[in-house]
Structure 1
Amino acid sequence: MTHAQGKSFLQSGHFPTLVAAFLYFDLSFMCWVLLGPLGIQIAKALDLDPAHKGLMVATPVLAGALLRLLNGTLADHIGGKKAGIFSQLVVILGLLAAWIFGVPGFAAILGLGVVLGMAGASFAIALPLASRWYPVEHKGKAMGIAGAGNSGTVLAALFAPALGLAFGWTNVFGMAAGVMTVVLVLFVILAKDAPDQGPKQNLASYLAVLGMKDTYWFMLFYGVTFGGFVGLASSLPIYFHTQYGLAPVHAGYASAACVFAGSMFRPIGGWFADKVGGIGALSILYPIAAVALVAVSFGLPSIEMALGCFVVAMLALGTGNGAVFQLVPVRYVKEIGVVTGIVGCAGGIGGFYLASSLGFSKQWTGSYQYGFLIFAALAFVAFIGINVVRNEWRVSFSRGYAEGSVRI
């Protein structure tokens, strides 16, 4: 089909593929952060200190970051549908192994974390799979809807702690494998690669994007927005339990409220960026996130105050995720799969840094403050960066598009 400009959002794309991409992304993200909501129970069973807790929840984030490079390349080379099927099978088999054979120690939980990283790497497959069906004026909305699969982190926070207490935390892995199997079947039925896939690239052409300075800016910007989102999503259950004494289930509910705010505002971020431009949106969102993280770093006296600040931070970060990926497909057309992987990798590394630094900060200083403060400083650096490139990007990115057809 031809992606003619002027068509409505629903007329211009392939809705079943958008649904398939969302479901794949959503339930994969549920699996990706599963160790966070179960972290209190796992840490008690394995007798983990704060630093090891931080590494436990951060390992899937780092693995997901690195595996996004693989998945981004696969999506470009063999198509998003085949890459998605392969990725889901790896996650399902890993969950089944943990359920059947158990998780006897810290090394085993780290091994499971690496396998769950493949679920986090779904990002580099789901978003290009959906976005390739849509013209530039609707890509922000398409990627925002597919990217709302961040909400899977809410499902993990809501249900995993209670299921772990009722049935045992290792059995939660078996339940997750069952859910992922259903999603895989739906994905096979609904997903379809867009006809306009572009020429297949060799490895040198994939690596060529690393020779473009814009790539590094995008890595910084997404490292803060998505890194902050997934780092907090993984760490908040343990944080609320340690800082405010919440029981595992209540800590999961409190975390779910924060994560829900961030995940639901990702598509709004895409829509907002389509309207006012991704650069303008990010210039507003980074300072908001930085201020909220500085506030929580001081160990607010009540859970209500902390929840309020975390919700504000997650709203800004989640909206920022959508805004960054309104800009990516405008800047990169043929390389969208591999660039999504590279930029997503930076986001995962940002999340690994935040989750692990919170654990080490608590271990070494007795407080989470330094972990939050350093990440707030990174958000401020991103704010400076987006304003440094503002004028150059607005001129260069709009070339080749009709005036007013896309906002930068």
Structure 2
Amino acid sequence: MATAYWKRDGEAAGNAPVDAPTTSFWKAGHAPTLIAAFLYFDLAFMVWVLLGPLAPEISKTLALTPAEKGLMVATPTLAGALLRVVNGLLVDRIGPKRSGAISQIIVIAGLFSAWLAGVNSFAGTLALGVILGFAGASFAIALPLASRWYPPEHQGKAMGLAGMGNSGTVLASLFAPMLAKMFGWNAVLGLACIPLSLVFVAYMVMAKDAPDAPAPRKLIDYFEPLRQADAWWLMGFYAVTFGGFVGLAASLPIYFTDQFGLTPIVAGYCTAGCVFAGSLVRPMGGALADRIGGVKALMVVYLVAALALSGVANATSLPGALGMFVMAMLALGTGNGAVFQLVPQRFQAEIGVMTGLVGMAGGIGGFYLASSLGLAKQMTGSFAPGFLIFAGLALAALASVALVKSRWRATWKTAARI
């Protein structure tokens, strides 16, 4: 059996010191758990953003305004952000495997009930969005489930591969509009329960909690990281990288149909291409951060993302917009991996709650972007102001990384990897 690695107060668990070399990546941890974490995360993300690809059809049926459409697709993101903290606490209290099982049952039962009863109002879409938030909160479970099995030098790759489950957003963009055209958008809610149930069975068979989990602590102790500035910096950085990724994933179907008059199916294909780019590079971002340091990777990420989002705001053609979106998603996906190369190095003993807190910040960033794009469209007739403001946030994040990098390198015990 592979040895589980995770640090307490800068020391490594097990018999190896923090900086000691270990075996190759695939022998260093527990591959079945890593695969189970990916599958769970992948299908959870698929349904988390499900309202985005269905939004053009839902908005026609319910006669939604641009602001209502923006709020509808943003609600699962906000619910997922808040629930990530709850899941982070559960991970440290009852373990990631049981926490994941509970969350999956809630999502499957919620979607099945929505399919049976039907969603017939704007308020109903918001209620469904809250249920889908449990799927988005899978982030705070899947990543610790995988991370606790791997030593520090493989954290970027392990977290990146598990986190590549955000590619589930591609599945939603590809198949949801097509199935909605064939069977109606409400039927898609029921059909989603089929792959979710299959993955639930695989998860229960393959996933295993790492040994030597930290002992349960008092509830107040879980929020101890918030007393440290580094926690807030990491949360802010992820609010931009992951917030940009998931906010765009949820909003692009609306953007493509409203801006260029595409059909929901074609808009789904365009969205899938953009999202696939961001999902594909997440593990590459973790590996890149392992090689050159998370700080250097993030500085490049924020600059490219700012330029790309500014380009989107000024795009006048579909090819131009697609090119800028792909560039933005490549940068943001890389940034997601880079941030989570840093988190376990600084907060390994609190990885469960920190994953929840950082993930919450990312979800809040996504809620802001998705809802602000809808508001911008309704108030100004254009999506451009929403994109430009988020580009400004990327530049602010770049300046912040430059501000803290010297202190991090001087004080972190893993300075060589930041």
| TM-score scaled by length of structure 2 | 0.95
Could you tell me how far 1:295 is from its partner in structure 2? 1.0
Instruction: Check if 1:146 corresponds to 2:182.
Output: no
CA offsets, 1:45-101, max 9 Å, x none? 000010000000000000000000000110111000000000000000010011100
Q: 1:370 aligns with which of 385, 389, 392?
A: 385
CA offsets, 1:127-170, max 9 Å, x none? 00000000000011000000000100000000000000101111
What amino acid is the match of 1:92? I
What amino acid is the match of 2:360? C
Looking at structure 2, the residues matched to 354 and 138 of structure 1 have their Cα atoms a distance apart, in angstroms, of 32
SS of equivalent residue, structure 1 residue 77: helix
Could you tell me how far 1:201 is from its partner in structure 2? 2.1
2:152 maps to: 136
The question of whether the paired residues in 2 share the 8 Å contact of 1:279 and 1:390 is answered with yes
SS of equivalent residue, structure 1 residue 335: helix
Looking at structure 2, the residues matched to 164 and 98 of structure 1 have their Cα atoms a distance apart, in angstroms, of 15
The question of whether the paired residues in 2 share the 8 Å contact of 1:20 and 1:191 is answered with yes
What amino acid is the match of 2:289? A
Looking at structure 2, the residues matched to 388 and 308 of structure 1 have their Cα atoms a distance apart, in angstroms, of 31
The question of whether the paired residues in 2 share the 8 Å contact of 1:132 and 1:196 is answered with no
Could you tell me how far 1:369 is from its partner in structure 2? 1.2
1:43 maps to: 59
The question of whether the paired residues in 2 share the 8 Å contact of 1:58 and 1:234 is answered with yes
SS of equivalent residue, structure 2 residue 348: coil
Could you tell me how far 1:258 is from its partner in structure 2? 0.3
Runs of 5+ consecutive residues of structure 2 not aligned to the other structure: 6-15
Looking at structure 2, the residues matched to 212 and 205 of structure 1 have their Cα atoms a distance apart, in angstroms, of 13
Looking at structure 1, the residues matched to 34 and 223 of structure 2 have their Cα atoms a distance apart, in angstroms, of 28
Instruction: Check if 1:348 corresponds to 2:363.
Output: yes
What amino acid is the match of 2:94? I
Looking at structure 2, the residues matched to 386 and 201 of structure 1 have their Cα atoms a distance apart, in angstroms, of 32
Could you tell me how far 1:196 is from its partner in structure 2? 2.6
Looking at structure 2, the residues matched to 356 and 290 of structure 1 have their Cα atoms a distance apart, in angstroms, of 19
Could you tell me how far 1:173 is from its partner in structure 2? 0.7
Looking at structure 1, the residues matched to 327 and 343 of structure 2 have their Cα atoms a distance apart, in angstroms, of 25
1:34 maps to: 50
Instruction: Check if 1:361 corresponds to 2:376.
Output: yes
CA offsets, 1:152-210, max 9 Å, x none? 00000000000001011111111111111111000000000000312222211111111
Q: 2:251 aligns with which of 216, 223, 235?
A: 235
Q: 1:326 aligns with which of 322, 327, 341?
A: 341
What amino acid is the match of 2:307? V
Could you tell me how far 1:260 is from its partner in structure 2? 0.3
Could you tell me how far 1:318 is from its partner in structure 2? 0.3
Q: 2:328 aligns with which of 303, 308, 313?
A: 313
* Identity between Structure 1 and Structure 2 (%): 61
Looking at structure 2, the residues matched to 247 and 281 of structure 1 have their Cα atoms a distance apart, in angstroms, of 37
Alignment of 1:195-210 (within 5 A): 195-210=211-226
What is the RMSD computed on CA atoms of the aligned residues? 0.9
Instruction: Check if 1:263 corresponds to 2:263.
Output: no
Looking at structure 1, the residues matched to 63 and 217 of structure 2 have their Cα atoms a distance apart, in angstroms, of 48
SS of equivalent residue, structure 1 residue 194: coil
1:117 maps to: 133
2:12 maps to: none
Could you tell me how far 1:334 is from its partner in structure 2? 1.2
1:66 maps to: 82
Looking at structure 2, the residues matched to 123 and 196 of structure 1 have their Cα atoms a distance apart, in angstroms, of 22
The question of whether the paired residues in 2 share the 8 Å contact of 1:54 and 1:355 is answered with yes
1:105 maps to: 121
2:181 maps to: 165
Could you tell me how far 1:395 is from its partner in structure 2? 2.2
What amino acid is the match of 1:317? L
SS of equivalent residue, structure 2 residue 192: helix
Looking at structure 1, the residues matched to 289 and 392 of structure 2 have their Cα atoms a distance apart, in angstroms, of 24
Could you tell me how far 1:301 is from its partner in structure 2? 1.9
CA offsets, 1:197-256, max 9 Å, x none? 122222111111111111110111000000000000000000000001100000000000
Instruction: Check if 1:283 corresponds to 2:299.
Output: yes
* Structure 1 outlier segments of 4+, above 4 Å: none
2:404 maps to: 389
Looking at structure 2, the residues matched to 231 and 14 of structure 1 have their Cα atoms a distance apart, in angstroms, of 32
What amino acid is the match of 2:211? P
Looking at structure 2, the residues matched to 376 and 9 of structure 1 have their Cα atoms a distance apart, in angstroms, of 36
Runs of 5+ consecutive residues of structure 1 not aligned to the other structure: none
Looking at structure 1, the residues matched to 119 and 177 of structure 2 have their Cα atoms a distance apart, in angstroms, of 17
Q: Matched residue pairs, number?
A: 402
Looking at structure 1, the residues matched to 226 and 193 of structure 2 have their Cα atoms a distance apart, in angstroms, of 36
